[in-house]
Amino acid sequence: MRRIVPSLCIPVLACTVVPALADVVSFQTVISPSDNTFTQLLGINNAGTIAGYFGSGAAGHPNQGFVLTLPGTYTSENYPGSVQTQVVGINGIGDTAGFYIDTAGVNHGFTDIGGTFTTVDNPNPTSVLTQLLGIDDGDEVAGYWQNAAGTQFPFTEVGGAFKGLNSLLPANTSAQATDVDNAGDVSGFFTDSGGVTHGFVIVGGVETTIDFPGAALTEVLGLNNKGQLSGFYVDSAGNTHGFVDTTGQFQSIDDPNGVGATTINGINDLGQVAGFYVDSTGNTDSFVGSTPEPVSAMLLGGALVALGLALRKKRT
């Protein structure tokens, strides 16, 4: 239950790491008026409508889901009869997906499509919990189920048809599918046999492992319809940083109010990101960030070649 509290680099130029704050246009802090100690923003659509929740999940402090329309219109969204709810993914028309905890303490996935809530539980007979983490415009969802031993298995579902993704991963001792785009491509992360966690993206049935350069751990939590990925990585000092990955060009993002702990959960087609950080007082606060579209590695490489030729010609 990663969200409760909480690469393949072939061309050399494709593994560029862009400085953290220089390329972020703006940060907007978001703190739920219902809880000034714990707010997480998770998914964001192209209209800037955001899925999230407040409440740490501790005793007397339950998760309470919402949908936020900036600058400050919160619409409560909790699965009927649930004890706790997290709204995690949101698509272009405002349908949402997430998970809730029932009175027996069991996790179930859910969708809210056009105002109608539906429980989505993976039918595997060994499953003890299901969580949904992303939803596309066709209401296909991405998530995972977990067995009693604690091993997690990623899947997608649409119209009652479940598709397991475990066989597409290079290794798995635990894995989650975290988002799905309108083409059916899927993001997520897995832990290998050595205990190292890597991000992944599956495009056209082909998996690519995503590792932020030099990171000890990488998790991909979101993707948009332009192929950009978002998530977080942990550096060698144990600090957590958000990132955006555009075809191998990595942009590290830290909220300036964070203390070594920024996570980017969602990214829309406009490059807007939603996430959260831990502030200096230990509170979990959220933010919306606006990032420019990074220059592609191919264009950067072409520019460098052109510059080199121009300098050579000048010397001649």
**What is the average pLDDT score of the chain?**
87
> What confidence score (pLDDT) does residue 13 get?
30
Report the alpha-carbon distance of residue 268 to residue 94 in Å, rounded: 13
Q: Which fold has domain 12-315?
A: Neuraminidase (2.120.10)
Task: Check if the beta carbon of residue 223 is closer than 8 Å to that of residue 201.
Answer: yes
Q: In the Cβ-directed half-sphere of 229, how many Cα atoms lie within 13 Å?
A: 31
Q: How far is CA 188 from CA 132, 174, 246, 288, in A?
A: 12, 11, 16, 21
pLDDT at 301 over 90: no
Of 51, 30, 40, 59, the C-alpha closest to 2 is 40
Q: How far is CA 142 from CA 182, 224, 225, in A?
A: 12, 14, 15
- pLDDT class of 171 with cuts at 50, 70, 90: confident
For the residues 238-250, what does the mean pLDDT come to? 94
DSSP string over 199-267: EEEEETTEEEEE--TT-SEEEEEEE-TTSEEEEEEE-TTS-EEEEEEETTEEEEE--TT-SSBEEEEEE
> What confidence score (pLDDT) does residue 293 get?
55
Report the alpha-carbon distance of residue 293 to residue 316 in Å, rounded: 37
| pLDDT tens by residue, 77-115 | 999 999 999 999 999 999 999 999 999 999 999 999 999
Task: Check if the beta carbon of residue 68 is closer than 8 Å to that of residue 315.
Answer: no
pTM for the predicted model, two decimal places: 0.85
Pairing, β 249-253 against β 17-18:
parallel
> What confidence score (pLDDT) does residue 21 get?
42
Identify residue 70 by its one-letter amino acid code. L
Q: Give the alpha-carbon dihedral of 265, 267, 273, 277, to 10 degrees.
A: 10
Domain ranges in the chain are: 12-315
pLDDT at 228 over 80: yes
- pLDDT class of 291 with cuts at 50, 70, 90: confident
